[in-house]
Amino acid sequence: MSCCNADGGKRFAHAFSLPLLCCLFTAHAGWNITLFEALDQALKSNVDMLLHEQQIIDAEGQVLQARGQFDPAIVAGVSRTRNLRPLRADEITTLQVLGVASNANQIHQLTTYQIGTKKVFLNGVSAEMTFNVSSIGDNLQSANGVPNQLAGTLGFTLKVPMGRNAGRETTGAEFDARQAEYEAARAELQQNQARTILDTTTVYWDWVASEKRLAIAVTTERRLSDLVSEIKRLIDTGQTPRADIEIALASRAEKVALRLTAEQAVDESRRKLARLMGLPATRARELVRPANDFPSYHELPIDINAAHLIEQALASSADLDAARQRDQAARYRLTAARNNRKPRFDLDLNVGYTGLAENVTTLQADRSLENLAGPSMGVTLTLEWPWENNTMRGVHLSAAANHDAAALRERDLGQAIATNVPVMLDALRRASAQLLEGIEAVKRYEITLKNEQTKRRLGSATVIDVINVEDRLNNSLLTDVALRQRYATAIVELRFQLGRLVQRQGDKYQISVGALLGGNALE
């Protein structure tokens, strides 16, 4: 699930339908984690990602439920009835005259088999076909020479709504709305992936920065310790007064405190990253140090067209796509609610054929269509007109409010993207300019510190002069780390606003890590 980009950056993709829990993370002691590995693990095990996976499954289930009302169905049944009716005195006398023994009851037996199929179409029309077989036996009819009868009926029914529930935009509205919401859930998964990448990358760069600040603190503490040792030797040989060591000892104590603070910051950054990666707190220390450094400086093109970037961001934003899909779902429901305020006016068409066989057994269903007669036809018009129709008026009112709310969210999100893209672009420009100045400042202070150290050895500079320049270099190095972190964060934030952190290809989502490491935010 990973591949390399042409520029050496790694890419990886996850299919949203994959069971992500099967890809469990296995760290090892002394492991230096890359940004790619951190993102890969976060996308597999982050709780928010797993919850969005379940939301997509739920949305898919909602689509199936909505589609279910249009599934064809087979209907089958069998019934057996035996009715007894006491005979009148004249009926009994007649039977006796005919020489038929009677138990003073009429016995009517009816056995019916039925099988059929029915389907509702997306345009609201429903069709049904049935085949009924009825076996009729009656002791009075038998006494009069009428044999048992086997009747078969083949019927076709077509129901056409012409008022309420008429047309695809009405009957199929809920199915179309659920389908749109399913697509919205997929887009929201893509947006959540982008958010996870943004958060994980930001915390990863914070970890890199804390490690660099710790390294600066350790180096500074070591230099101060070396200075203290050197001053002690000079004091012992009488080349410098004992008072010179006090400022050096005070400065070293200050640097020890800064180093301890930096160590605490490293631990906190490591725990934050482990949390985003879905690792338990007990395993946070398995993340020894980040393997990737801040992206190198990459000069931005001078002629960047912000309007073009905004247009691209609006077209590729997964968040905006999800809002559009939910707006479309609300529009489907609104159209259906508006149409369903009409009265119910249905047209039913019935066509049937009837057959009859005599002196046959109940199981000889194929003979029930002998002597077939037909077609018999019928037409029914049904009108149902609620006088106030409060139910449908309420549904329409609710659907209209939901549609307006969805449209407002879509419009507001589009405006936010159009506003944020230029802001993030300007932030990256400023971060680039600041980084160049910070790099220059570090170079100058390093040269100045070497000069002060040489001057002190020659006696033309004091310990205080060296410590002051040391502090200035320290601050410059820390500023450089902060500027590099700001530059790296500005890259991922701009790509997030442009919708370039995650690209969907079918059911898979592809992420380019090379752009985050290479320093080219517009790649």
Question: pLDDT tens digits for 305-320?
Answer: 888 889 989 988 999 9
> What's the confidence (pLDDT) of residue 17?
33
Asked if residue 92 has pLDDT above 90, the reply is no
What's the rounded mean pLDDT across residues 2-30? 37
Single-letter residue type at 496: F
Mean pLDDT (the chain, rounded): 83
Decide which of 172 and 245 is more confident: 172
Structure tokens at 249: 């000892």
pLDDT digits (tens, 9 = 90+) for 120-175: 998 999 999 999 998 888 877 777 777 888 888 999 999 999 988 888 888 999 99
Q: Cα–Cα distance between 243 and 253 in angstroms, integer?
A: 16
Residue pair 221/303 in contact (Cβ under 8 Å)? The answer is no
Decide which of 429 and 27 is more confident: 429
Q: Cα–Cα distance between 289 and 279 in angstroms, integer?
A: 16
What's the rounded mean pLDDT across residues 343-370? 85
> What's the confidence (pLDDT) of residue 398?
94
What's the rounded mean pLDDT across residues 274-297? 85
Q: Cα–Cα distance between 483 and 490 in angstroms, integer?
A: 10
Asked if residue 480 has pLDDT above 60, the reply is yes
pLDDT digits (tens, 9 = 90+) for 431-452: 888 888 888 888 888 888 888 8
Q: Calculate ∠ Cα 503-505-510, nearest 5°.
A: 45
Structure confidence at residue 5 as a pLDDT band (50, 70, 90): very low
Structure confidence at residue 400 as a pLDDT band (50, 70, 90): very high
Single-letter residue type at 22: C
Q: Which residues pair with 132 in a beta bridge?
A: 114, 153
Decide which of 102 and 457 is more confident: 457
> What's the confidence (pLDDT) of residue 416?
93
SS3 label, residue 183:
helix
Structure tokens at 346: 């249905």
> What's the confidence (pLDDT) of residue 507?
66
Asked if residue 506 has pLDDT above 80, the reply is no
Lowest mean pLDDT among 32-46, 90-104, 485-499: 90-104
Asked if residue 378 has pLDDT above 90, the reply is yes
Asked if residue 30 has pLDDT above 60, the reply is no
Asked if residue 18 has pLDDT above 70, the reply is no
Q: Cα–Cα distance between 190 and 185 in angstroms, integer?
A: 9
> What's the confidence (pLDDT) of residue 14?
40
Asked if residue 404 has pLDDT above 90, the reply is yes
Q: Cα–Cα distance between 466 and 461 in angstroms, integer?
A: 7
Asked if residue 12 has pLDDT above 50, the reply is no
Cα 297 to Cα 293, 321, 439, 514, 519: the distances in Å are 12, 33, 10, 14, 6
Decide which of 30 and 333 is more confident: 333
Decide which of 4 and 456 is more confident: 456
Residue pair 505/13 in contact (Cβ under 8 Å)? The answer is yes
Lowest mean pLDDT among 9-18, 104-113, 209-218, 496-505: 9-18
> What's the confidence (pLDDT) of residue 173?
92
Q: Cα–Cα distance between 326 and 182 in angstroms, integer?
A: 9
| Helix orientation angle between 306-316 and 390-458, rounded to the nearest 10 degrees | 130
DSSP state of 455: H
Decide which of 11 and 357 is more confident: 357
Single-letter residue type at 506: G
Decide which of 112 and 237 is more confident: 112
Residue pair 432/487 in contact (Cβ under 8 Å)? The answer is yes
Asked if residue 504 has pLDDT above 50, the reply is yes
> What's the confidence (pLDDT) of residue 150?
87
Q: Which range is most confident: 14-18, 26-30, 45-49, 403-407? A: 403-407
Tokens 């905006």 sit on residue: 320
DSSP string over 353-404? EEEEEES--TT-GGGGGTT-EEEEEEEEEEEE--SS-HHHHHHHHHHHHHHH
Structure tokens at 225: 């310790």
pLDDT digits (tens, 9 = 90+) for 43-76: 888 788 888 889 999 999 999 999 998 999 999 9
> What's the confidence (pLDDT) of residue 130?
94
Asked if residue 262 has pLDDT above 80, the reply is yes
**pLDDT over 70 for what percent of the chain?**
91
Q: Which residues pair with 114 in a beta bridge?
A: 77, 132
Q: Cα–Cα distance between 433 and 455 in angstroms, integer?
A: 33
Which distant-in-sequence residues (6+ apart) come within 8 Å of 72 by Cβ?
Answer: 117, 118, 119
Alpha helices in 237-317 (DSSP H): 244-276, 306-316
